[in-house]
Structures are given as C-alpha cells and as structure tokens.
C-alpha cells in the first residue's frame, strides 16, 4: 500500500479530534516505508471551532461540511464517498476520539502479509483499542456467542498473530481497495451505529476475512453510559424519543440491521424495543443486567 485515504467524522470534540490526528501523523512519520496519506474529515456542524483548529494545525486535511444530522455512520459515508473520487490503495476508518499507536502501520503491514499468505486475498484489518486508564479492551473484533440472539464476545488482545473475527468496530479499521470493489462503502440505512458490524458481516458472507491486528492498536475510552439507567428515569414521550434518537437507542439503525442480517429474529426484536419503552425497569432487570457485552460507537 503506497497511498491510503484516512476517513473521519467529528462533532464538537475539538481536543479529541486534534489528538487523534496528531497520533495518526506521528504513526505515519514513524513508519519506515514510504506511505502517502490523505485525510478526509467530515465536520458535522461543530460549534466549538473544530474545523478552524484542524485547518490551522493540519492544513492538508480535506475538511467536508456536514448537515449537522449525519451522525457517525452518515459522516463516515460522506468522507468515504469523497475519497472514492481519487484512486487509493486502501481506506483507514478512524474515530475522532481514538489515538493510534506509533507502530500501527507496521502492524497493519504484518496483518496484510499474514492475510494474503493464509487466505490468498486481502481482508479487513481491525485495530483493538484499550482504555487509557484501566487498560481494558474497549473496541476491536468480536465473535458471535449466539446468532439468534445476536450476542457477541470481544476477542482479547493477542500480541503474537492476527485473529479472525466475525464483527469489527471501525474505531480503527483498514479496508483495502480490493475489498471496497466487492463490498462498497458503509451501507445506507444506518444513522449512527451498527454500520461497521454490517460491513464486516457483509465481508463474512463473501468469505472475505476480517482480522484483528496483533497487539494494541490504539487508545479509546468507552465513555457510553448505560442507556437503560437513563431510560428508566424518563417519561413515556421522552422514552419514545430516546428509542429512536441516533445517540439514544438508535432504533432505526437497529431495525435496519435486524431485517438485513437476522430476519427470523426481527419480530421479537421489534417487540423488545417497545417493551423497553413501556416497561423499562422490568426490561432492565430481566434482560440487560446480565447480557453479553455488545460495544457501540
């Protein structure tokens, strides 16, 4: 890979966005091989001056203006569509709150070589992230525990070799051009979350391997609070709003995902969504307390 496009979207996280871009630039500079990198950042209506600071500190970044209602999935599609206008060897999806490790590109190269040798093709390469303080794994690759229930378990860090996974978070995700030629970009229909899971599931159906890069690829705090604790405190109308809000329970994206990948389970899932709204305390005590971890953006 000689020239990659880096794709980001942001909204009012100026300091984190600058930190992410700084770590990315440092990793590129530390990589001994020649690697050209063009960065596409969709600023989805930030009011904290993110775009101006990025222009000042990283003048080569291509800044795209969002409508303010793109959220994560829409913002990433916006950046990706713009990058497709040029010819890149690969596309690196990066969350604006993720700081990559200095050795990221070396580890990607190792994973790419491993994938070609083992599977005879390029694949999707996912970077595992840890919490800055606790050092717990926050995002990465997962395997299904129960496909009908759509539950999954995140893979632990493996420092020795890449690990095959079935689902991946796009906090750090590299997609070679050969994969994009087969799958395209993130699917329409997702508002905020789930689009990265969908992407790796589409790859799985086409026998395109998704591999977790060896070791820790970066740091990203999982700062999502428990939504059901908030849901239980709201009135009925506000619970309905939270069910459908993109940074609430994002029911629209969830519905789309279930219809697409788990159609048999969809009726049960739809009823469960409204059960959460009608009986939030009962839902939490019966189902949420002990469920298998499912990471979101």
The per-residue pLDDT for range 133-179, each reduced to its tens digit, is 999 999 999 999 988 777 889 999 999 999 999 999 999 999 999 99
What is the predicted pLDDT for the residue at 288?
Answer: 66
Do the Cβ atoms of 168 and 212 come closer than 8 Å? yes
Beta bridge partners of 52: none
Q: How far apart are CA 192 and CA 11, in angstroms?
A: 12
Strands 3-10 and 90-94: parallel
| 159 SS3 class | coil
Beta bridge partners of 221: none
Tell me the whole-structure pTM to 2 decimals.
Answer: 0.92
Q: How far apart are CA 35 and CA 3, in angstroms?
A: 6
Beta bridge partners of 210: 124, 165
| 58 SS3 class | coil
For residue 73, pLDDT beyond 60: yes
What is the predicted pLDDT for the residue at 211?
Answer: 98
Q: How far apart are CA 294 and CA 152, in angstroms?
A: 6
Mean pLDDT of 186-192: 94
Domain 3-219 - what CATH class?
Answer: alpha beta
Backbone angle region of 45, left / alpha / beta, with phi > 0 → left and psi within -120 to 50 → alpha:
left
* Torsion angles phi and psi, residue 196, rounded to 5: -75, -40
Domain layout of the chain by residue ranges: 3-219, 227-288
């Amino acid at each position: 890979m000689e020239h990659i496009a880096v794709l980001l979207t942001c909204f009012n996280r100026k300091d984190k966005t600058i930190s992410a871009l700084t770590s990315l630039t440092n990793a590129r500079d530390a990589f001994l091989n020649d690697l050209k990198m063009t960065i596409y950042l969709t600023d989805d209506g930030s009011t904290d001056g993110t775009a101006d600071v990025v222009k000042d500190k990283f003048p080569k970044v291509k800044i795209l203006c969002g409508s303010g209602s793109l959220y994560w999935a829409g913002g990433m599609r916006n950046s990706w569509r713009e990058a497709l206008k040029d010819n890149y060897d690969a596309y690196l999806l990066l969350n604006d709150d993720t700081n990559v490790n200095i050795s990221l590109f070396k580890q990607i190269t190792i994973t790419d070589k491993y994938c070609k040798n083992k599977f005879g093709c390029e694949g999707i390469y996912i970077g595992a992230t840890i919490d800055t303080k606790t050092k717990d794994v926050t995002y990465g690759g997962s395997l299904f525990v129960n496909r009908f229930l759509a539950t999954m378990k995140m893979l632990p860090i493996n420092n020795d070799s890449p690990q095959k996974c079935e689902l991946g978070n796009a906090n750090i995700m590299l997609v070679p051009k050969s994969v994009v030629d087969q799958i395209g970009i993130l699917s329409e229909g997702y508002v905020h979350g789930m689009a990265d899971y969908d992407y790796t599931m589409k790859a799985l159906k086409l026998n395109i391997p998704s591999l977790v890069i060896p070791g820790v690829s970066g740091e990203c705090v999982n700062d999502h609070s428990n939504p059901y604790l908030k849901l239980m405190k709201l009135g009925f109308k506000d619970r309905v709003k939270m069910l459908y809000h993109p940074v609430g329970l994002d029911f629209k994206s969830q519905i789309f995902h279930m219809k697409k990948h788990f159609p048999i389970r969809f009726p049960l899932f739809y009823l469960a969504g409204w059960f959460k709204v009608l009986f939030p305390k009962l839902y939490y005590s019966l189902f949420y307390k002990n469920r298998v971890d499912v990471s979101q953006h």
